Structure 1
Amino acid sequence: MTQDVTSGGGGGVRPVFSRVCVIGSGVMGAGIAAQIANAGVPVLLLDRKVDGTDPNALANGAIAKALKTDPAPFMDPAAAKLIATGNIDDDLPRVADCDWVVEVIIERLDLKQALYRRLDAVRRPGTPVSSNTSTIPLARLVDGMPESFQRDFLITHFFNPPRYMRLLEVVAGPTTDPAHVAAVSDFCDRWLGKTVVRAKDTAGFIANRIGTFWMQAAARVAVDHGLTVEQVDTIIGWPFGIPKTGVFGLLDLVGIDLMPHISASMKSLLAAGDRYHAFAEDLPLIAKMIEGGYTGRKGKGGFYRINRAGGGKVKESIDLVTGEYALSERFSLPSGAGDAAGLLASGDRFGAYARTVMGETLAYAASLVPEISDDIVGIDRAMELGFNWKKGPFALIDQIGAAKLAAVLRQEGIAVPALIEAVGDGRFYQDRDGATQAFGVDGAWHPVTRPEGVILLGDFRKRGKPVLSSRSGALWDIGDGVACFEITTKMNTFDESVMTILEKSIAHVGEHFKALVLYSDAAHFSAGANLGLAAFAANMAAWGEIGKLVSRGQSVYKALKYAPFPVVAAPAGMALGGGCEIVLHADAIQAHAESYIGLVECGVGLIPGWGGCGEMLDRLRADPRTAKGPMPPTREVFEMIATARVSKSAAEARRMHILRDRDGITMNRDRLLADAKTLALSLVDGYQPPPKPEFRLAGAGGKLALDMAVEGMVRQGIATPHDVTVAGKLATILTGGDHDVTEIVTEEDMLGLERAAFAELVRSIPTLDRIEHMLETGKPLRN
């Protein structure tokens, strides 16, 4: 589905729900409303009535706060205009105009049921109603409600923050209309970008059932083993593919004050024999921390805090026994314990801790199939997307080895679940005939299916070999006459070898395919040019080699632009520098909603050298919303590039003119390749390469105006001395160099100006200092 999130639709496709009501404007309710608005769908946001001049103060305040929140719930601030606010007392009848109602109020059964009875009196018959509850079973929520309401009711458990967390757990009751489940799931998948996992009506559903068990066990056992919070977060983190926050960092992030409530809820709902009870008691320290306001990042600190006494900024961590803070010290595991299997086999206390915590957690997950999920796939997806584990429990068991894990469990006195016994010395996943299969509770293998319209490049890797490949890139046949080019370097950076395989791919596609898609399954589309190689070449004074790479990149990118077939770029995540420039050279863009795109070269003391300057100028002057004449587009491009501005979403990239009106935005990352392929095919009939642009630029007068603007920034303390140098080179390019305002500047002229500026800057000491600083710290140097 091609989607324009700024206007409410795309490609003629309309969502199944044309208006949604969200009741409850707390952090989650406001976040869900924002994500629906991000999809271009109008929202009615209701909350309690407030006495005073503004009866809708709660809902209005929530939107105002969301517009100031970082990370931002809105992909574009303009999306907030799609949210109408109201209050439950005066505006509940407006629910009749909505196609889906989402309840996100406080976790109290009596209040929820009272609201449902009022809703049932005003909603259109057959309108689905869902709750975002994370603690109350569906059966309790609908107990005593009319059968007609029960048919229309389900649970849609979003994860916080709703814009960024892809997991959505959907729970249906025994009488829930399957059509509602299908409609809500499809809407949340295609329009809200969620991966929908069907969960059973059990305590905590899937992710929280396992995730809270894991956190509780990790915290409790840490005290028994006398470990520090840094040691725990290292042990339980990257060796098992778990984010660097580990356990205690995660608790700080979600809020320490939530844990007692979650623990109490789980204990009240789970049977007495459930293994959760063995780790259910919170650390004595937690009550003391909450009482003192140490509730995590939202409070004065948590297990970690930043001590700013005396104007300093020192990271400290808490002692799990004494509750005293001390300087946080980095911890590294002993050699040989760098992965899950090695750590579990380690004979020291760190290995003992890992065996207990991860052994208990993986065993617990295996014991819950099919109680909480019909299959292992749902559990793995829930933990991967809900807790950001690189691999879910069963994929992690495959990495360790099921038989080895069973031996660890027996060694630790932990009962081996029947499912692990059943798989024996085999695996939970296998690839057969180009498709992935999962081991089931029935002992048989079952195909891992994807929703209709989802294609992933990884699927093609399982089925065969690429059409062309090298160590730096590959060209794949993705069907229907469309090829897909992917970069395979670290962070998908560009170097000479990438240019070589890309050039070969362009020629091959011209002979054998209809269209080309530029795409990557990796988290980020491309971090741009390989700065490490550039620094190495500069240290060797290999200026000629650097110049050749700049010229080669220009040549290959223009070959892509003027190829005899349509090219669609499909960025997701970061597309920076040269990664942005290749996107700009495509005929069309199908971007994932979470695309962070920008020309960032000035941050390392350089300028875009692969045609980015001309491409951005061409976009701005062609946009009817941009003021006419040479200077307005020039000034806007200059500001964007000089400040190394990066879009915070695809919607913002559209406002920056990187995406044009004809380009598409895909909300669900898993649907990006399919949407890009569809867009590419739509361009095939009658395709003609674009004409070469000719520019009339502002000349010497325009450069003077830009230079004066930079001098103003210097006086304000915004620009540094080297910023002035870099901005001067950029201004020369964007105003045409020696060309007079009356002369035509060709695309080749623009490329020549880029090459000349790049060659001068890359030889300068301040630029080399910036490059080295970026490589060492990952942060720009302000010199």
Structure 2
Amino acid sequence: MADTINKVCVIGAGVMGAGIAAQVANAGVPVLLLDIVPKDGADRDAIAKGAVAKMLKTEPAPFMSPAAAKLVETGNIEDHLDKVAECDWIVEAVVERLDIKQALYARLEELKRPGTAVSSNTSTIPLGHLVEGRSEQFKNDFLITHFFNPPRYMRLIEIVTSEHTDAGVAAKVEQFVDHRMGKRIVRAKDTPGFIANRIGTYWLAVAINAAMDQGLTVEEADQIGGRPMGVPKTGIFGLIDLVGIDLMPLLAKSLSSTLPEGDAYFDTIRPLPLVDKMIAEGFTGRKGKGGFYRLDKKPDGTKAKQSLDLQTGEYRAEKKPERLPGRAEKDLAALVATPGKVGDYAWAILGPVLSYAAGLVGEAADDVVAIDGAMKLGYNWKFGPFELIDRMGPGKLAERLRAEGKPVPALLETAGDRPFYRVVDGKRQYLTLGGDYADVVRAEGVLLLEDIKLRSEPLLKNGSASAWDVGDGVVAFEFTGKMNALDEQVLSLLQKTIALVKSQYKALVIYNEGSNFSAGANLGLAMFAVNIAAWGEVDKLVVAGQQAYKALKYAPFPVVAAPAGMALGGGCEILLHADAIQAHAESYIGLVETGVGLVPGWGGNGELIDRLAKSPKMPKGPMPAAMKAFETISTAQVSRSAALAKDLGYLRKDDGITMNRDRLLADAKQKALSLVEGYQPPEKPVFRLPGAAGRVAFNGAVADFAKKGVATPYDVVVAGRLANIVTGGEADIIDEVSEDQLLKLERAAFMESVKDARTQARVEHMLETGKPLRN
């Protein structure tokens, strides 16, 4: 049996199957996507072809680049099922009907090679039922791989095996979904709904019922049951709108048909006439006419958010509830102890849901770590159920359950007053079913800063950044401020870190484990200086950034930047000054300063031009690279993936892309170490730029956009300042422009922009609303 997967077949081109196929293609692996032959129409492959075409237009995009779509081969199960013999893994993602799945497996059994893995994406049907009547070989090759929607963006995969599943087959699939598809594996047991959907469906049902029983508004329910519990900002009802209200009865029917008698889920099932009416009338959430929330378009074209009144079933204007009292927003114990509807509703959710989760250890999963991981990755909870119990206090939870005459799960009794997680000798441990503690074990090859922090102190630290020894002579520099924004403290500590690495270490990695690498410079602090006309302080910040980034670029050791999420403005510029980039696949990189009326001020203009000029795809001469840089920066283009960042020039051809976020630091560290031997800092670039003639052309193009109404009057002004930089200012087309000359032009343009009232209006609008001002 081959131990690698070189081609995959996905059968079922619905939303999930097509999304799984797209993620395989994103991994750079050919994939065969099959579906049934349509009842009418001449094209027998129309369903699979249509799925690919639709995904190329879908937002958020299932494909990381248009090139990935070319790796998807389409077909149908009547004419092309024999092609599964070419594949190393077959993923079944057809309708959730046992008879249809079993009929398909009978055909696959005759066509596939022994040792080719077959998995089902089912979320409800037990594995044992799926393989009934199949051969031993088929059972050996079979497992469940339950992806979450959308497969590109949701990091969880629940994997279920049986006593028949060959360990080598399972390992081959696990290796692929981890390293190539970027998923974190949670091993679940063969029970209904597995882990995440079983707890998640119960949680949503409990929360909806309690809100209706207690007479809460949807806004109140989402406030209490949202952020204080670490639930995504959508809250309860907003999340149901997102996933689709019509899925609720389907999940209820599916789970209730397979769950064991006496399961607490059955207590949540009740008639919901309001929900039935919404589905019947097409109010199925964001994909329909609206849901528990909707946007109402006014005659003047503006939109206002409306909320559904749970008592009357009518829409009304959204009403923001009063702020939660005292410490209830951040302290879970205080939240459930708050008198009145806040505490009552919080307890009505947490009491049953946390008890339910505690009762599933041993049944749905082997340990609390798996359950917490499934809920955090599958439902975007900030804390898993057992982390929530620790925040509330296991003893307090058990005591309140007892006082109300409710059963206390055995694991909660075992815990007593002990936490489910603790740190001993720098290692995170969890409480086992037997009452002992065991180390939380990471997958092989995973290196996380959060683990390093448990066993060591930072080498350097201030209020906005820190530096850590990550082993083998490599230092990791992380931003730690809000949104990982960059300020003078970051720049100061970066200079100190460069000196430290120079004297005692081998290499530096710029990395953090925030949701976003960096949103760029701290605009709030900049505006404070602007409001008091402290121009010297703003200029000092620009100079400090240019100097720190130059020191990074020319340091006598390799620097690797490892972004994930947004790397915008100054966050993008630091990437451009690194020797190499190891980016997470979901990196959204861009120089976005023009959106707030500024220009890149920390060397980003020259660095992007230099990268573009050195790209083998770029035509030679002064004009092409400068023109491409101008177009990219003036329109504030942000890559929608690391793959697309290569097309924009933010990443070089040989920069690395890591699919699994958990493996990013290890990959970046390895890349840095690979550059150590014989390392020499880069030579200073010399630019040949298009001069005045180029500037006329660039400004003319912007003027055309303005005539068409695409560019605003101030866009034209800002683009003019940018054009002056990228064409070399007063330099002629035959002149050489040094890096320092370009930085001087950049600094002057930045200061001119920041003093402009129109820029100040844009920045203030962005800080207040999070949206650009089109002035």
Q: Tell me the TM-score normalised to structure 2 length.
A: 0.98
Q: Which amino acid aligns with 1:583?
A: L
In structure 1, how many angstroms separate the alpha carbons of the residues matched to 2:302 and 2:569?
A: 35
Residues in 2 aligned to 1:513 and 1:778: alpha-carbon distance in whole angstroms: 40
1:343 is aligned to 2:335: yes
- The one-letter code matched in structure 1 to 2:45 is N
CA distance in 2, matches of 1:470, 1:229: 41
The one of 579, 593, 607 aligned to 1:587: 579
Q: Following TM superposition, where does structure 1 have runs of at least 4 consecutive aligned residues deviating by more than 4 angstroms? A: none
Correspondence for 2:758: 766
Among candidates 16, 20, 28, match of residue 32 of structure 1: 20
Residue of structure 2 in register with 1:83 after alignment:
72
Deviation at 1:327, TM superposition (A): 1.4
- The counterpart of 2:595, out of the listed 599, 603, 618, is 603
In structure 1, what is the Cα distance between the partners aligned to 2:73 and 2:194? Answer: 32
**Distance in 1 between the 2:403 and 2:661 partners?**
42
Superposed CA offset, 1:729-767 (max 9, x none): 100000000011111000011001001111111111001
Match of 1:135 among 121, 124, 143: 124
Q: Which residue of 2 aligns with 1:479?
A: 471
TM-superposed CA distance for 1:457, in Å, is: 0.7
Q: Distance in 1 between matches of 2:689 and 2:129?
A: 69
Q: CA deviation at 1:413?
A: 3.6
Q: Which residue of 1 is the match for residue 231 of structure 2? A: 242
Instruction: Give the counterpart of 1:303 among 287, 292, 295.
Output: 292
Is 1:283 aligned to 2:275, yes or no? no
Provide the C-alpha distance between the structure 1 equivalents of 2:654 and 2:89, rounded to a whole number of angstroms: 30
Deviation of residue 334 (structure 1)? 3.5
Residue 333 of structure 1 deviates from its aligned partner by 4.1
- 1:263 partnered with 2:252: yes
1:170 corresponds to which letter in structure 2? Answer: I
State the one-letter code of the partner of 1:79: A
Question: Secondary structure at 2:56's aligned position in 1?
Answer: helix
Residue 225 of structure 1 corresponds to: 214
Please, which of 311, 314, 320 is the counterpart of residue 324 of structure 1?
314
Aligned-residue offset at 1:281? 2.5
How far 1:52 moved relative to its partner? 3.0
SS at structure 2 position matched to 1:89: coil
State whether residues 199 and 353 of structure 2, in contact with CA within 8 Å, keep that contact through their aligned partners in structure 1.
yes
Residue 524 of structure 2 is aligned to residue 532 of structure 1: yes
Report matched runs for 1:375-774 at 5 Å. Answer: 375-774=367-766
C-alpha spacing 1:255/1:175, structure 2 compared with 1 (3 Å) = same
Instruction: Name the CA shift for 1:15/1:303 in 2 (closer, same or farther; >3 Å).
Output: farther
Distance in structure 1 (CA, Å) of the matches to 2:628 and 2:347: 57
Offset from partner CA, 1:202-261 (integer Å, 9 cap, x none): 000000010000001111121111111111111110111111212211111111111111
Which residue of 295, 315, 322 maps to 2:305?
A: 315
Other-structure match for 1:48:
36
- Mapped to 2, the partners of 1:319 and 1:284 lie a distance apart of 14
CA contact (8 A) 1:499 1:552 kept: yes
Distance 1:423 1:371, change over 3 A: same
* Matching residue's letter, 1:322: T
Residue 15 of structure 1 and its aligned partner are, at CA, apart by 8.7
RMSD after superposition: 1.2
Give the C-alpha shift of residue 307 in structure 1.
2.0
Q: Describe how 1:59-208 pairs up with structure 2 within 5 A.
A: 59-208=48-197
- Aligned to 1:154, the other structure's residue is in SS state strand
Q: Which residues of structure 1 form unaligned runs of 5+?
A: 1-13
Structure-2 separation of matches of 1:530 and 1:334: 29
Equivalent residue, structure 2, for 1:6:
none
Does the 8 Å contact 1:130/1:153 carry over to 2? yes
Distance 1:312 1:506, change over 3 A: closer
The aligned length equals: 770
1:314, CA displacement in angstroms? Answer: 2.2
- C-alpha deviation, 1:661, in angstroms: 1.1
In the TM superposition, residue 312 of structure 1 has moved relative to its aligned partner by: 4.5
Counterpart Cα distance in 2 of 1:175 and 1:621 = 57
Residues 487 and 522 in structure 2, CA contact (< 8 A), matched pair in contact too: yes
- The percentage of counterpart residues that share the same residue type is 61
Asked if the contact 2:181–2:660 (Cα under 8 Å) also holds between the matched residues in 1, the reply is: yes
* 1:166–1:194 CA contact under 8 A, matched in 2: yes
How far, CA to CA, are the matches of 1:778 and 1:318 in structure 2? 26
Q: Which residue is 1:10 aligned to?
A: none
Report the CA distance between 1:280 and its aligned residue: 2.1
300-309 or 513-522: bigger deviation: 300-309
Contact 1:355 1:412 in 2 (8 A): no
CA distance in 2, matches of 1:390, 1:162: 20
Q: What do residues 581-620 of structure 1 show as CA deviations (whole Å, max 9, x unaligned)?
A: 0000000000000001100111111100110000000011
User: C-alpha separation between the residues in 2 aligned to 1:24 and 1:349?
Assistant: 46
Residue 409 of structure 1: how far off its partner (Å)? 2.1
Q: Which amino acid aligns with 1:771?
A: V
> Unpaired segments of 5 or more residues in structure 2?
none
Q: Which amino acid aligns with 1:47?
A: D
Letter in 2 for 1:108: R
1:220, 1:282 within 8 Å by CA — same for their partners in 2?
no
SS in 1 for 2:79: helix
Deviation per residue, 1:509-536 (Å, 9 max, x gap): 0111111100001111111111111101
CA distance in 1, matches of 2:643, 2:529: 37
Residues 369 and 735 of structure 1, relative CA distance in 2, 3 Å threshold: same
Which residue in 2 is equivalent to 1:18?
Answer: 6
| Alpha-carbon distance change, 250 to 282 in structure 1, aligned in 2, over 3 angstroms | farther
Q: CA deviation at 1:309?
A: 5.3
More deviation, 661-670/140-149: 140-149
Following superposition, the deviation at residue 182 of structure 1 comes to: 1.3
SS of residue in 2 equivalent to 1:357: helix
* Structure 2 residue identity aligned to 1:636: K
Give the whole-Å Cα distance in 1 for the aligned partners of 2:485 and 2:252.
Answer: 45
Q: Retained in 2: the 8 A contact 1:191–1:667?
A: yes
Question: 1: distance between equivalents of 2:647 and 2:352?
Answer: 49
Shift of residue 411, structure 1, vs aligned partner = 3.9
3-state SS of paired residue (1:737): coil
- Aligned partners of 1:640 and 1:547: how far apart in 2? 25
Query: 3-state DSSP class of the match of 1:45?
Result: strand
Deviates more, 1:521-530 or 1:158-167: 521-530
How far the C-alpha of 1:408 sits from its partner, in A, is: 2.8
* CA distance in structure 1 between the aligned counterparts of 2:770 and 2:115, rounded to whole angstroms: 53
Contact 1:560 1:567 in 2 (8 A): yes
Q: Distance in 2 between matches of 1:412 and 1:36?
A: 50
The change in CA–CA distance for 1:483 and 1:312 in structure 2 (over 3 A counts) is closer
Instruction: State the 1:53 CA deviation.
Output: 2.3
* Larger deviation, residues 435-444 vs 223-232: 223-232
Contact (CA 8 Å) 2:85, 2:111: kept in 1 or not?
yes
Query: Structure 1 residues 381, 364: CA separation in 2 closer, same or farther (over 3 Å shift)?
Result: same
Q: 1:289, 1:585 → 2: CA distance?
A: 53
Write the distance in 1 (CA, Å) between the matches of 2:494 and 2:523: 19
Write the distance in 1 (CA, Å) between the matches of 2:658 and 2:404. Answer: 47
